[in-house]
Chains A and B, each alone.
Chain A
């Protein structure tokens, strides 16, 4: 159910994103999705990659501060109101979304959204009860 996401601390200065993607590229790690939250001083780069362990390893070797987080990938109907229907379910069940971002690739005819929740397990059970499709970690990284 859950997908491993890696987060990387980067200073808000030129060339840092290039450095991270360069390190991963050289290690043969493929980036599947990414999002960047930033402030004027620093940013938190979140990535879903095809080999999290390897990504963690090479980034640590290059003195980056990294962490691993569990997120989930949800299939969202790729049509008007598709995302809204899912957020409504979460809201009605008082599930708080920490952050979310979209996957570039589709899963069949659906879009894929990555969600980070405070309480992942509770979020999963609510979504399943409401017949929302949650993609398996393996499937996500190989889309």
Chain B
């Protein structure tokens, strides 16, 4: 095997397309049967659309199946979408939801094994081996990132340092002393580490770092170059979402020409987000994912809201799996701030609860010293304007505290004058994301 392109599971990752598609169809039928038997939400959806599991005869027939949205998950909170009894579930993770309620996802023992396998695949594709010391600076907790990479690293046989997020000085000390060679974190945190190294006068080449596995937030090619130059590493991207599994859905190989999708476990489509129509191969549009092997939390045509494009030509690394481009945006207004999903509607609810009125607001997301910041600008109106400074400040402090609790990230609340937030055709523009400008 070429040293440069190690492959974790060649039979799966390099199989001929026809064989892969036959496997996908067989697994799709199983999954559809599973949800038709076990998940009331899908029973209802199938009944409404007139779809019968027996109707499925080719992969193209997937277009007749109904979509699943974040709203479905919210309506079935917490366990309504599970296809197995809880006694078969060995792990629960969650991510933030659109209206304050998180999305709860479960894994059977087999699901955890699949997840581990898929993470091991993309880590291997990024060049990680059993010789590596993997420094995991994702937060350990309900968020899928840290545990996903942790299990995958162990499967490869690498040494894991589960340092978790924060405390950059300590991270650097451990990198120096323990000789961390693979860094796992968000790309923005990677840059924070680079900044701190620079400030402390530490030459990155004095560290053992050689590869970075960055995920959990969208990032640009420009940022990749910056990470590679400033940390002296190869920076790879990986993609996943907790509703589907977590990290492991797709990941870069060392050619960095699109993230290889684990198509033997997920069926992907690109649709027109407005009409829902499936677009021809190679089109840019919304990524829709159907899980093919998941037991506890199967998803049929889950609308990721992520915009991307999929390339099907085989890759020079030897893998036949299709490659997805870095995501280039969202079809909804979800923001990813410090790796946490934030929806403007959550902010609306918090403001509504505090004074019982709906002020105009705008979110300003920025990146200061490589860390994401969120400012919520709120237009003052007579309900939330007080003549006493202490009450006015109390309003601001209460709003900041509630937002931090509901969103899971800190936000600064800034009061602004009425009509100062720009409106387009009367509709306030809710989000200004300066990170992408």
Contact = CB atoms under 8 A, between A and B. Distances in A.
A66 to B, nearest CB: 8
B417 A10 contact: yes
Contact of B418 (A7, A64, A69, A116): A64
Interface string B410-427: 000011111110000000
A34 interface: no
Contacts of A116: 387-388
A10 B417 CA distance: 6
Contacts of B387: 5, 7, 44, 46, 67, 69, 116
Contacts of A41: 414-415
B274 interface: no
Contact of B382 (A37, A65, A99): A65
A42 B381 CA distance: 14
Interface in B206-222: none
Nearest to A69: B387
A115 interface: no
Nearest to A43: B389
Given A10-B417, A11-B416, A65 B380 contact: yes
Size range of the interface on A?
20 to 34
B393 A39 contact: yes
B398 interface: no
B417 A44 contact: no
Given A9-B415, A63-B417, A63-B419, A44 B382 contact: no
Nearest to B413: A41
A11 B414 CA distance: 10
Contacts of A65: 380-382, 385, 417-418
A91 interface: no
Interface string A57-89: 000000111110100000000000000000000
B392 interface: yes
Given A9-B380, A65-B381, A67-B382, A44 B419 contact: no
A7 B385 CA distance: 9
Q: Which 10 A-B pairs have the closest CB atoms?
A: A7-B387, A69-B387, A63-B419, A65-B380, A9-B380, A37-B389, A65-B385, A63-B418, A42-B415, A11-B417
Interface of B: 380-382, 385-390, 392-393, 414-420
Interface of A: 5, 7, 9-11, 16, 37, 39, 41-42, 44, 46, 63-67, 69, 98-99, 116
